[in-house]
A and B are shown apart, each in its own frame.
Chain A
Amino acid sequence: MPVKLRLLAGLLSVCAAVPFAATAQTFVGAFDVGPGGNPQKFNPLVAPAGFGFYNKYFSTLTLYDVGLQKISGDLAESWAYAADGKTLTVKLRSGVKWHDGKPLGARDVKFTLDLVRHPDSASVFAGRLEAVAEVKVVDELTLAIGLKSPDVTLPDAFTSIMMLPEHLLAKMAPKDLRNADWWKSPVGSGPFRWIKYLPDQYVELEANKDFHRGRPKLDKLVNRYFKDVSSAAIALQAGEIQHTYLTLDQVKENQSHAVFDVVSGPSNVLNYIGFNNGDPRFQDIRVRRALLLAIDRAAIVKSIYGGNARLGNCVLTLPKYVPGYLERYETNVAKARALLEEAGWSKLSKGEPVELLTYYSDQLSKDVLAAIQAMLAGVGVAVKPRFVDTPTYSQIVDAGKFSLVFAGQGNGPDPSVLNTVLDSNYAPPKGLNRMRISIPELDKLIGAGQQEVDEGKRAEVYKQMCKLTNTQLPLLPLWTANRFGGFARNVQGALWTPAPGGGRYQDYPERWSLR
């Protein structure tokens, strides 16, 4: 072999000798890639996403099953409301320990819930505990949570709140804790213990031998950071990582030469077109109906999403809250034109295009907006899509300086997540009702759903809410798209679903292993 070729071969062999894949029982995942991630933000009290990774080293009182249908206890063994609905008693599992070996008890839970409610903690879950008046420790493993008014959504709220050790954090002021270094070497109670964080590279966890459900099968679990979804997918294909979120395009590409398993499921995020309800152009129901009739949603789902989305016809998407008697709004261009003419759209719009604002910047969303723009133009409604980043979007819509938005709303698992989005009392700056929806009947249903203890009656309340929003169209429901995760083929026992915020369900990481 010529000298030059030998040198090249030698160089390549040095590179190839480097073991790029991790050792046999080290699971490397890109847990924070995609819309469910919250990369390198380690304070879970201010985190509306990233639960899929927080749950690997922290624990919550309750969690959903992987189908997001039923809540079960994680740290909580049981819970029950008093007859008047104003006290919630929670019993904790015994024998649970923090990673430093100290027992986890009711005092820790009280500490955490009080911390969430403290304004200085800036917790995004404070609003979910608004009904809580007082948290009392009854004994080592029992708490009594006193409520100002009945709130049956607390077990759902608990799925988001990671429990924190009182013995390590009680002396720190909530304001100081918010940005404390403690979060970068935390002590949790989950199946894995925190070992190391290398900024912009990865977090390394190791098996918690004292985990209350038994030692995990994996020795280590690593969360590797990627700024770019494509880079993470390439790392999965190259066998360097065992899991990442995938886009629809990446899934389609994998179909032709499958090198990993794809798990798909409904995102539980309703994509919608929202109106500024204060804008006179959209106050006539005929205009809103016309816009929905003009958009061929079925064609978009078929051609752009490749069938990987389910049409929505009201603000709720979980099947148990969607009645069968809804208007389907199948595309009818002639009817849409007639409705716009009746409503005097040409006078209302003054011939000017309407801006359609969105914080989505991926290619799929751009294709969707191009299709919507063309369909609306077909009935004489000119819209102009505008793509901005999240802080810009928030500032514009909070200030009410918008006409139309294309956005997504987490839609469960409990429908109460929509309370501050739909209730007229929660218009900005107080809450998330950014579309300035104001329907008194809807406000009443929201209150009823919050307080109804009986599961069957509660479902009926939400079915009425679904019907009401189907008729009144305070926003245009479009579809719930599927999302995808990829797992290397040597992974066993892993549970994953594309839940809003990337988690809040029991994925039993202690059962995960590698062949």
Chain B
Amino acid sequence: MKYLLNRLLVNVPTLFAILVSVFVLINLAPGDPVDAFVPPTATLSDVQKEALRHELGLDRPLPVRFAMWVQQVAQGDLGLRYKDGSKVLDEIARRVPPTLMLACAGLLGGSLLGIALGIVSARRANSALDHALSLLSYLAISSPAFLVGIVCLYLFALQAGWFPAGGYSTPGRGDWRDIAAHLVLPAGALSIQFVAILTRYTRAGMLEALDQDFIRTATARGVPAHAVVLRHAFPNALIPLVTVIGASFGSLLGGAVFVETVFSWPGMGTLFLDGIESRDYPLIMGIALFMALAILAVNLLTDIVYSWIDPRITLR
């Protein structure tokens, strides 16, 4: 409990620093919400533009605007979107389930596949299969999520016709089977890099564990090979994997921006992109706050999982 409290207190200044940085950076970006609101070929008089800027509070000094935003957030209000006046909190809340669904499906599916391939690769170290898996892993690590997404769409939606070509649900439907069918490709595209990284880490950890004396002892005692791998070697390779999985959550959320765009998935990624395109400061700040909190929470959870899987680690 004391550990949790300490970590929470440490995270407050980190969170504050993140939010100040994001606020300053988005305000330094050229073009403001009014410039984004009026396209290059449309006319809005200078009087109308100034009235809009005043109404949105853009004519106030930057520190004042940040202080007002913090005050608002402290009261549980993330403000209104500049673009259409909708509540930022509602907009985020609506997009969290699809993004979490996507990230969790990618994380879960990717973890299972990455660990399985890593174990196979370590068991058959230096075989043709191991070399093939290594080559595929390097290819996958070097492939950006948006490119993998387009290739997946082309192969599995267009050519094979196995899955829908993007979207969250079919208009007029939206039952779980429909949503699950729409989820497969984006979750797969999102997790490709993650699978590759995890395969490499699992392989390395397993090779190190399989070389230990206690493994030789277990084998000499006649413990079956699969039990040696799963009960003795794998738990010892798990600590670095938990670190990788925890650290990858942030990357998956970041990757979701591109994957959601390619697959027209209605999540936080597309909302974030929309916020940047329209210079929607309250929305950008709201999403930054949510993302930072989510990543800090996952880091905390990772620490707790360490002590759970390895009793030698204590949280202080």
Contacts and interface: CB of A to CB of B under 8 A. Distances in A.
B138 interface: no
A202 B171 contact: yes
A389 B181 contact: no
Given A19-B170, A22-B172, A179-B84, A238 B161 contact: yes
A contact residues, range: 35 or more
B188 to A, nearest CB: 13
A122 B48 contact: yes
B41 A432 contact: yes
Nearest to A120: B51
A231 B30 contact: no
A124 interface: yes
Contact of A234 (B91, B166, B266): B166
B52 interface: yes
Nearest to B55: A175
A432 B267 CA distance: 36
A23 B167 CA distance: 17
Given A226-B264, A359-B40, A395-B35, A26 B166 contact: no
B157 A238 contact: yes
Interface string A379-414: 000000000111111111110000000011110000
B270 A227 contact: yes
Where chain A touches its partner, the secondary structure class is: mixed
Contacts of B48: 119, 122, 126
A14 B270 CA distance: 28
Contacts of B59: none
A46 B43 contact: no
Contact of A228 (B43, B84, B163, B261): B261
B170 A388 contact: no
Contacts of A22: 170-172
Nearest to B269: A227
Interface in B59-113: 80, 83-86, 91, 94-95
A85 interface: no
Contact of A119 (B47, B164, B171, B263): B47
A71 interface: no
B173 A19 contact: yes
A200 B266 contact: yes
A225 B94 contact: no
A18 interface: yes
Nearest to B29: A392
B169 interface: yes
Contacts of B261: 227-228
A430 B46 contact: yes
Contacts of A43: 84
A199 interface: yes
A471 to B, nearest CB: 25
Contacts of B218: none
Contacts of B33: 391
A285 interface: no
Contacts of A83: none
A167 interface: no
Given A22-B170, A26-B172, A420-B43, A122 B52 contact: yes
A103 interface: no
Given A28-B171, A126-B48, A420-B43, 17 more contacts: A12-B162, A15-B181, A122-B48, A124-B38, A124-B44, A175-B55, A198-B266, A199-B94, A199-B95, A200-B267, A234-B166, A389-B277, A390-B35, A391-B279, A392-B29, A395-B30, A409-B41
- What 10 pairs between A and B have smallest CB-CB spacing? A179-B85, A391-B31, A200-B266, A429-B46, A48-B42, A391-B35, A391-B36, A394-B35, A392-B30, A238-B165
30 contacts: A14-B177, A16-B162, A23-B172, A41-B84, A48-B41, A119-B47, A122-B44, A124-B42, A124-B44, A199-B95, A200-B266, A200-B267, A201-B168, A201-B171, A226-B264, A227-B262, A230-B262, A231-B264, A234-B153, A234-B154, A238-B157, A238-B161, A238-B165, A240-B164, A240-B167, A391-B33, A395-B31, A428-B46, A429-B46, A430-B45
